[in-house]
């Protein structure tokens, strides 16, 4: 995570909960449009959860130009 936040120069951190067990850490910058997000799901380890695809699509769909 440190590599990506430094590489993208994202230093502003916003933290919020999607639900009781899912926490989102979103890093942004005032000087560029880049976003680094870390989503932590308690008790899941490094696996694929039922809402992983939705969260990934939600993130990447922001960058699709129509």
- pTM (two decimals): 0.70
Does position 15 have pLDDT exceeding 80, yes or no?
A: yes
Residues 6+ apart with CB under 8 A from 27: 5, 8, 10, 11, 12, 13, 14, 35, 36, 37, 38
Residue-level pLDDT at 55: 82
| pLDDT bucket at 2, cuts 50 / 70 / 90 | very high
pLDDT digits (tens, 9 = 90+) for 26-42: 999 999 999 999 988 88
| pLDDT bucket at 49, cuts 50 / 70 / 90 | confident
Q: What's the rounded mean pLDDT across residues 54-59?
A: 86
Structure letter (DSSP) for residue 30: S
């Amino acid at each position: 995570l440190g590599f990506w936040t430094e590489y993208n120069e994202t230093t502003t951190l916003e933290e919020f909960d999607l639900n009781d067990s899912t926490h989102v850490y979103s890093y942004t910058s005032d000087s560029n449009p880049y976003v680094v997000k870390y989503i932590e799901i308690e008790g899941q380890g490094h696996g694929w959860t039922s809402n992983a695809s939705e969260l990934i699509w939600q993130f990447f769909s922001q960058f699709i130009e129509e």
